[in-house]
């Protein structure tokens, strides 16, 4: 297939591009490199030394013999070029990663909120409008988030996207109805993914676009089979207080003897998936395309759930690190249960990598190897969800 990877220079997009290219697909990456600019804005860099996207593609050609083309294009701001490019290349499938993905970054200031909504909602809508206009019948696979469901204790397993409800009509008869699971986003970033869901529902229903939305959990790890093939193919690894996700942060903190930064009681339970499984799931989703007229296909792309304090204890046991309980900069439930249904990917053949198998390798091969690149002053998470929380966190850092 001809596959467009939008956001293919990012943490999940790059290994996905390599994985799909290694399977023999023709891969083109579209990215505006905004993530690299945000590193500059924040004064941080990936733990792992990343080459330019052009250099990464050159090395891939050398190593594999396969070509990956790169296009510098802003999905949110350059609608005309996007439409023109799609009309010329006519992909069979599109994988859409191209959004601002950090919750703390989206809550930093009013400017960051505005940027995140503007970038994410426009990127998705521009793409949908361009697909309709060009008449391209590509299967669109979008990377959404488990966070759209929210983390309230409902005492039931979270279904894959849809909920069957019963309503009473005017005659007093009970009628069954299938609705998108009610969203309860916990940040402006997560809110944009909730808005994306409505855009997808509309375009699938109105124009017959074929769309799969992957509600992904927190991705951990660094390497995949392809990024291991050459040092210069290495994936990015974010550790800073805005973009670093919890488990990857704990791993590098342990590597530099920095007490593990647990927010609040650490009672938050979240869904996780290893990067290798994430790229495999995208391959499986691409093979299982919906037909025109189908509802948006939704998968829960996660393999395990863990409580944050249990993860900290596990990393501490493995490495001898200290654990520190800090005032929580976020507005979120102190404790929550999380049970998630993910039968669809298992039925398609996913064989999950578990935390127990992969964790030690990450600590030794990645966190310790590149520890000298870590700026300790960029480790604390300082982005607060409200003014009140900001004052509290400042009083008791
Ligand atoms: P990332 O920030 O590393 O990659 C996103 C890429 O998209 C970057 O290279 C960026 O430059 C590009 N981009 C952003 N806006 C763009 C625009 N307007 N035009 C063109 N390119 C643009 O993020 P990631 O961790 O690889 O995540 C990829 C996707 O998966 C995101 O949509 C994210 O919401 C979702 N996701 C990520 C995780 C995770 O733990 N990393 C978990 C669940 C879902
Ligand atoms: N946390 C800590 N200490 C830290 C960092 C985080 O205790 O040093 C806690 C947070 O308070 C939160 C949990 O860990 O309760 C998860 O935080 P995170 O930064 O790892 O993940 P999150 O903000 O939810 O966002 C990440 C990705 C996002 C993706 C989402 C999937 O950045 O793109 O959508 O995970 S999910 O969490 O399932 O919604």
**Tokens read off for 156:** 């039931």
- Asked if 59 contacts 233 with a C-beta cutoff of 8 angstroms, the reply is yes
> How much is the pTM?
0.98
Plot region of 161 (φ>0 → left; ψ -120 to 50 → alpha; else → beta): left
Catalytic (active site) residue 115: no
Q: How far apart are CA 89 and CA 172, in angstroms?
A: 54
Q: Evaluate the CA torsion angle 380, 384, 388, 391 in order and state its sign.
A: positive
Joined together, the tokens standing for residue 299 give 């998968």
269-274 and 304-307 beta bridge pairing:
antiparallel
Distance CA 63, CA 22 (A): 11
**Structure-block tokens of residue 339:** 């049970």
Confidence of residue 286 (pLDDT cuts 50, 70, 90): very high
Q: In this structure, which residue's CA is closest to atom 31 in ligand 1?
A: 97
Contact 387, 110 (CB under 8 A): no
Give yes or no: 162 in active site. no
Which residues in 23-40 are b (16+ Cβ under 10 Å) and which e?
eebbbbbbbbebbbebbe
Backbone angles phi, psi at 118, to 5 degrees: -60, -50
Inter-helix orientation angle 110-134/79-89, to 10°: 40
- pLDDT, tens digit, 9 for 90 and up, residues 39-63: 999 999 999 999 999 999 999 999 9
Residue nearest to atom 33 of ligand 2 (CA): 101
Asked whether 245 lines ligand 1 (CB < 6 A), one says: yes
Instruction: State the pairing for strand pair 68-72/297-301.
Output: unpaired
Residue with tokens 């919890």: 246
Our answer on whether the CB atom of 245 is closer than 6 Å to any ligand 2 atom is: yes
State the chain's mean pLDDT as an integer.
96
pLDDT tens readout for residues 242-261: 999 999 999 999 999 999 99
30 and 52 in contact (C-beta within 8 Å)?
Answer: no
Q: Scan for tokens 């696979």, then name that residue.
A: 141
Q: CA–CA separation, 377 vs 291, rounded Å?
A: 50
DSSP secondary structure letter of residue 50: P
Task: Kindly state which CATH superfamily the domain 2-237+274-303+341-354 is placed in.
Answer: NAD(P)-binding Rossmann-like Domain (3.40.50.720)
Question: At a CB cut-off of 8 Å and minimum separation 6, what does 67 contact?
Answer: 57, 61
Tell me the pLDDT tens digit for each residue of 135-161. Answer: 999 999 999 999 999 987 788 999 999
Candidates 192, 193, 239, 243; catalytic one: 193
The per-residue pLDDT for range 357-373, each reduced to its tens digit, is 777 777 777 999 999 99
Closest CA to 255 of 344, 330, 215, 315: 315
DSSP 332: -
Which residue has the least CA distance to atom 35 on ligand 1?
A: 143
Instruction: State both tokens at 295.
Output: 């509802």
Annotated domain spans of the chain = 2-237+274-303+341-354
The pLDDT, as a whole number, for residue 358 is 76
322 has pLDDT over 90: yes
């Amino acid at each position: 297939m001809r596959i467009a990877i939008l956001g293919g220079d990012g943490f999940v997009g790059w290994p996905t591009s390599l994985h799909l290219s290694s399977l023999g697909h023709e891969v083109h990456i579209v990215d505006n490199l905004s993530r690299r600019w945000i590193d500059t804005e924040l004064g941080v860099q990936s733990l792992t030394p990343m080459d330019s996207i052009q250099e990464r593609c050159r090395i891939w050609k050398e190593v594999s013999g396969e070509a990956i083309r790169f296009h510098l294009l802003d999905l949110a701001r350059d609608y005309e070029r996007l439409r023109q490019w799609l009309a010329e290349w006519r992909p069979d499938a599109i994988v859409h990663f191209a959004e601002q993905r950090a919750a703390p970054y989206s809550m930093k200031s009013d400017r960051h909120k505005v940027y995140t909504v503007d970038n994410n909602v426009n990127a998705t809508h521009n793409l949908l409008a361009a697909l309709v206009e060009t008449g391209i019948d590509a299967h669109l696979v979008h990377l959404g988030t488990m966070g759209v469901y929210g983390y309230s204790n409902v005492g039931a397993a979270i279904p894959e996207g849809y909920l069957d409800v019963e309503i009473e009509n005017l005659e007093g008869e009970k009628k069954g109805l299938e609705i998108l699971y009610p969203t309860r986003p916990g940040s402006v970033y997560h809110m944009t993914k909730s808005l994306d869901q409505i855009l997808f529902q509309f375009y699938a229903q109105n124009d017959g676009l074929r769309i799969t939305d992957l509600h992904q959990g927190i991705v951990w790890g660094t390497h995949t089979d392809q990024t291991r093939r050459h040092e210069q193919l290495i994936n990015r690894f974010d550790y800073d207080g805005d973009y670093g996700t919890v488990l990857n942060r704990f791993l590098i903190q342990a590597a530099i003897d920095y007490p593990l930064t647990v927010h609040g009681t650490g009672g938050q339970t979240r869904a996780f998936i290893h990067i290798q499984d994430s790229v495999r799931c995208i391959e499986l989703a691409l093979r299982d395309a919906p037909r025109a007229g189908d509802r948006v296909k939704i998968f829960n792309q996660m393999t395990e759930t863990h409580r944050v304090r249990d993860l900290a204890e596990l990393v501490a046991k493995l490495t001898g690190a200290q654990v520190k309980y800090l005032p929580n900069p976020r507005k979120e439930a102190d404790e929550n249960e999380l049970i998630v249904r993910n039968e669809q990917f298992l039925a398609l053949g996913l064989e999950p990598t578990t935390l127990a198998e992969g964790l030690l390798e990450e600590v030794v091969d990645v966190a310790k190897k590149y520890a000298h690149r870590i700026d300790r002053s960029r480790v604390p998470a300082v982005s607060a969800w409200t003014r009140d929380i900001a004052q509290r966190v400042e009083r008791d850092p």
